[in-house]
């Protein structure tokens, strides 16, 4: 019996992994997809035409980058919808607007007009049938120090040379954001409690917790539909 069957995870589930840059979302996405035999949806970092330019000059490129990510996520969302679920998604669409676009607008590196245009487009896209809420959002959290170390180890130059104050601001915003997030069920996981790199089996207790949250959320959805 595989882990998906053992823990009764519905094979049409949509599970999204959220958390700040470098916390371990891609690593978790890969490990969960392998363990559950699910498909993956990754965000577009390699061959992203705006990302490096953005880190060089936030003001000039923040709007372009948000539009690019939104278009990419919309294509991914459509794919997930057309397959009928069974996906682990690296980063939720909620973070684009709730963290990144908002932060750049509030810090003055995105204009009010650009922010409003982006928000209007985002709202229009989210209202389409391609955006079912995920069954579960797994939120990865950890200390700023551990996350900064991971950013350094991963070694993307554009991130390594970005001032620590940027990551600090983002870390705080993530904490505030998750504390008021209510668009779908959440499972919070502390990165100090597992190590998927050294111990592949540490995925199993995470799947067990996921199972509990997904069963609860499905029961709640069924009740609402009566
Ligand atoms: N459980 C872990 N223990 C130690 N290092 C980790 C763990 N998970 C991820 N990493 C490392 O941290 C860095 C960032 O991980 P990644 O999955 O790319 O983060 P994200 O997708 O959230 O930006 C990578 O170098 C990765 O190998
Ligand atoms: N919506 C976004 N705005 C700005 N930057 C973003 C957005 N989504 C992702 N990013 C950046 C942050 C990182 O440098 C890379 C990839 O993110 P990661 O958390 O490492 O998967 O893209």
User: Over 90: is that where the pLDDT of 11 sits?
Assistant: yes
Cβ neighbours for 192, distance < 8 A, ≥ 6 positions apart:
142, 143, 146
Q: What separation in Å is there between the alpha carbon of 119 and the centre of ligand 1?
A: 30
Q: Which ligand is nearest to the CA of 200?
A: 1
Which distant-in-sequence residues (6+ apart) come within 8 Å of 198 by Cβ?
none
Return the SS3 of 33: helix
Question: Which residue carries 């919808």 as its tokens?
Answer: 81
Q: Is 142 in the pocket of ligand 1 (CB under 6 A)?
A: no
What value does the mean pLDDT take over residues 71-89? 94
Q: Using CA atoms, how far apart are residues 25 and 92, in angstroms rounded to an integer?
A: 10
Classify domain 3-224 by CATH number.
3.40.50.300
22 Cβ closer than 6 Å to some ligand 1 atom: yes
The pLDDT tens digits for 50-68 are 999 999 999 999 999 999 9
Residue 225 pLDDT > 80 = no
Alpha helices by DSSP H, listed for the chain, are 3-6, 25-36, 51-56, 58-83, 93-95, 102-106, 112-126, 144-154, 157-160, 164-179, 203-225
Q: Are 16 and 136 in contact (CB under 8 A)?
A: yes
Predicted complex ipTM: 0.95
Domain boundaries, the chain: 3-224
- Mean pLDDT, the chain, as a whole number? 94
Q: Whose CA is nearest to atom 23 of ligand 1?
A: 22
Q: Residue 218: what pLDDT?
A: 77
Structure confidence at residue 216 as a pLDDT band (50, 70, 90): confident
Q: Report how far ligand 2's centroid is from the alpha carbon of 151 (Å).
A: 12
pLDDT surpasses 90 at 130: no
Instruction: List the residue whose alpha carbon is closest to atom 17 of ligand 1.
Output: 24
Chain-centroid distance, C-alpha 16: 6
CB 206 within 8 A of CB 136: no
Distance 22 CA to ligand 2 centre (A): 9
Residue 219: per-residue pLDDT:
75
| b/e 32-58 (16+ beta carbons within 10 angstroms → b) | bbebbebeebbbeeeeeebbeebbeeb
Average pLDDT over residues 29-37: 97
Residue 1 is predicted with a pLDDT of 77
Does 185 sit in the ligand 1 pocket, CB within 6 Å? Answer: no
Residue 224: is its pLDDT beyond 80?
no
What is the mean pLDDT of the segment spanning 177-193? 95
- Indicate if the pLDDT at residue 154 is higher than 70: yes
In this model, does residue 108 exceed pLDDT 70?
Answer: yes
What DSSP designation does 98 have?
A: I
Rounded to an integer, what distance in angstroms lies between the CA atom of residue 155 and that of residue 152?
5
């Amino acid at each position: 019996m595989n882990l998906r069957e053992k823990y009764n995870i519905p094979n049409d589930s949509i599970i999204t992994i959220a958390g700040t840059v470098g916390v371990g979302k891609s690593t978790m996405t890969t490990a969960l997809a392998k363990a559950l035999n699910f498909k993956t949806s990754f965000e577009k970092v390699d061959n992203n035409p705006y990302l490096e330019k953005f880190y060089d000059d936030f003001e000039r490129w923040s709007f372009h980058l948000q539009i690019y990510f939104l278009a990419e996520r919309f294509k991914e969302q459509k794919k997930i919808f057309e397959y009928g679920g069974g996906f682990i998604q690296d980063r939720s669409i909620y973070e684009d607007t709730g963290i990144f676009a908002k932060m750049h607008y509030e810090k003055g590196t995105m204009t009010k007009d650009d922010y409003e245009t982006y928000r209007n487009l985002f709202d229009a896209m989210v209202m389409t049938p391609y955006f079912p809420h995920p069954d579960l959002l797994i939120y990865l959290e950890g200390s700023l120090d551990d996350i900064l170390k991971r950013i350094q180890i991963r070694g993307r130059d554009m991130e390594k040379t970005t001032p620590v104050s940027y990551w600090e601001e983002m870390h705080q915003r993530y904490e505030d954001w998750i504390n008021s997030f209510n668009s779908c069920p959440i499972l919070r996981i502390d990165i100090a409690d597992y190590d998927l790199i050294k111990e592949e089996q540490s995925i199993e207790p995470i799947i067990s917790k996921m199972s509990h949250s997904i069963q609860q959320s499905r029961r709640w959805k069924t009740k609402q539909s009566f």
